[in-house]
Amino acid sequence: EALISELNKYGNKLRLNLKTTVKDISEDNGKISVLDSKGDTNIFDKCIIATGGKSYPLTGSTGDRIWVF
């Protein structure tokens, strides 16, 4: 609740349990575009990626991870 309260205080949005996966992330002119598996593209100023793990599947995590190269 504290995290959500602080995010709301500064006008940020938190999206949870979307039942989708990220298919592509790109940056253009300082904006981050995130394409999901439903075909929706969301534009952000900043983005935190939490990939999760298989240890607690009730969180919706599939154990997928992101490769940075």
The rounded distance, in Å, linking the Cα atoms of 1 and 25 is: 28
Of residues 52 and 27, the one with the higher pLDDT is 27
Per DSSP, 37 falls in state T
Per DSSP, 57 falls in state G
Question: What SS3 class is residue 33?
Answer: strand
Torsion of CA 66, 41, 5, 63, to 10 degrees: -30
pLDDT of residue 69 exceeding 60, the answer is: no
How many CA atoms does the CB half-sphere of 63 hold within 13 Å? 4
How many CA atoms does the CB half-sphere of 34 hold within 13 Å? 13
pTM: 0.60
Question: What's the whole-number mean pLDDT along residues 22-34?
Answer: 92
pLDDT of residue 6 exceeding 80, the answer is: yes
